[in-house]
Amino acid sequence: MYLATANVDLHCHSTVSDGVLAPSAVAERARAQGVEVWALTDHDEVGGLDQARSTAHDLGMQFINGVEISVTWAQKTIHIVGLNFDADNVQLRDGLAKTRSGRQRRAEDMSADLARVGIPNCYEGALKYVGNPDLISRAHFARYLVEIGVCPDVSSVFKSYLTEGHPGFVPHRWATLAEALKWITQAGGSAIVAHPGRYDLDLLKADVFFNEFKSLGGVGIEVVTGSHTPDQYEEYAKIAKQYNFLASRGSDFHAVEKGMLDLGQLPSLPKDLTPVWVTWTA
Ligand code: AMP
Ligand code: MN
Ligand code: MN
Ligand code: MN
């Protein structure tokens, strides 16, 4: 049984995707920051879970298997967090491998597009930050662009580069929503919409999306996340109630960085929501 009031952090990244700490170091940091129930949710990859779980248990922290799956829905990239699944499930593992497989080519195309505006060798530069050759992400490019002084920090990179309409952006087809939900639910997990405030969906599109997500077996949304403002905590608390969704809480920690949120430091979920973790047996 997981206590509703526990310090729970169900979204963060390690070097197995685009975080800067190894899974065991993320576990240590989570513990030091007071986290009691913790999930590692690397992008499209479960390869860090064994190390994360083992360190978490050594430190007396409860551990939940996690993953953040990249999905393309209505031409938009949407992230779906899977939690508390069987990480040995073959369909899930194969699906994630397929989702990862286009990243190499995409990175080369991103690099070519940056070279076009006079920033050469970004692929090689980004690779220096990559911990898992299967998982080269825009975050690695962003760190390299900061290193060479193109931008002062990672968040300003995404305002002028690597995003739609800017140099270094390469459209990509990720998993479908139906695939991601099938992989998570067939492995016994709970599917959650990651940082729903980040997708720029108008009300009508959002309604179509949440209904489709629900009909495919999705059970909840992140309400309190490092990607939401306090106003958005309220907004998505209302949406959780409206659609009868469970609520999740996660920092989306990637690195110790100025202005970025640390593990376990978010406010609690609004009291009138049902946390996803109370539906699991410890
Ligand atoms: P990718 O999966 O390769 O498209 O990369 C997505 C990752 O880039 C996210 O998981 C973040 O780590 C990072 N990212 C995207 N947008 C931003 C942003 N505005 N600020 C900081 N990091 C971002
Ligand atoms: Mn990331
Ligand atoms: Mn995300
Ligand atoms: Mn994330």
pLDDT bin (cut points 50, 70, 90) of residue 173 is: very high
pLDDT of residue 174: 98
3-state secondary structure of 68: strand
Residue nearest to atom 11 of ligand 1 (CA): 139
Distance CA 120, CA 248 (A): 41
Question: Rounded to the nearest whole angstrom, what is the distance from the C-alpha of residue 233 to the centroid of ligand 4?
Answer: 17
Dihedral (CA of 168, 205, 194, 237) sign? positive
Ligand 1 binding pocket includes 262 (Cβ within 6 Å):
no
pLDDT of residue 259: 75
Burial class (CB in 10 A: 0-12, 13-18, 19+), 134: middle
- Give the tokens for residue 36: 């009691």
Pocket test for ligand 1, best of 138, 140, 166, 195 (most atoms within 8 A of CB): 138
Q: How far is CA 267 from CA 2, 219, 228, in A?
A: 18, 22, 12
- Per-residue pLDDT of 149-158, as tens digits, reads 999 999 999 9
**One CATH from 3.40.50.720, 3.30.1370.100, 1.10.3720.10, 1.10.150.650 for 103-160:** 1.10.150.650
- Per-residue pLDDT of 107-120, as tens digits, reads 999 999 999 999 99
Q: Does domain 8-100+173-279 have CATH number 3.20.20.140?
A: yes
pLDDT of residue 142: 98
The percentage of residues in the chain with a pLDDT greater than 70, rounded to a whole number, is 100
Is-contact 70 98, C-beta < 8 A?
no
Beta strands in 102-146 (DSSP E): none
Please count the residues of the chain: 282
Ion ligand 3 residue ranges (Cβ < 5 Å)? 79, 194
- Give the tokens for residue 197: 């405030």
pLDDT bin (cut points 50, 70, 90) of residue 282 is: confident
Pocket test for ligand 1, best of 13, 18, 134, 160 (most atoms within 8 A of CB): 18
Is the confidence at residue 183, as pLDDT, over 90? yes
Q: Mean pLDDT throughout 213-222? A: 98
Is-contact 52 42, C-beta < 8 A?
no
Of 74, 56, 70, 63, which is closest to residue 139 (Cα–Cα)? 70
Contacts of 100 (CB under 8 A, 6+ apart): 44, 45, 134, 135
Ligand 1 binding pocket includes 100 (Cβ within 6 Å):
no
Is-contact 122 168, C-beta < 8 A?
yes
Cβ count near 211 (within 10 Å): 12
Of 278, 120, 279, which is closest to residue 188 (Cα–Cα)? 279
Q: Mean pLDDT throughout 200-218? A: 97
Distance CA 35, CA 12 (A): 12
- Give the tokens for residue 264: 């376990």
- Per-residue pLDDT of 234-251, as tens digits, reads 999 999 999 999 999 999
Which atom of ligand 1 lies at the shortest distance from residue 136's CA? Answer: 3
Is-contact 134 103, C-beta < 8 A?
yes
Residue for token digits 């109370």? Answer: 278
- Per-residue pLDDT of 30-66, as tens digits, reads 999 999 999 999 999 999 999 999 999 999 999 999 9
- Per-residue pLDDT of 253-273, as tens digits, reads 999 987 778 999 999 999 999
The domain segmentation of the chain, as residue ranges, is 8-100+173-279, 103-160
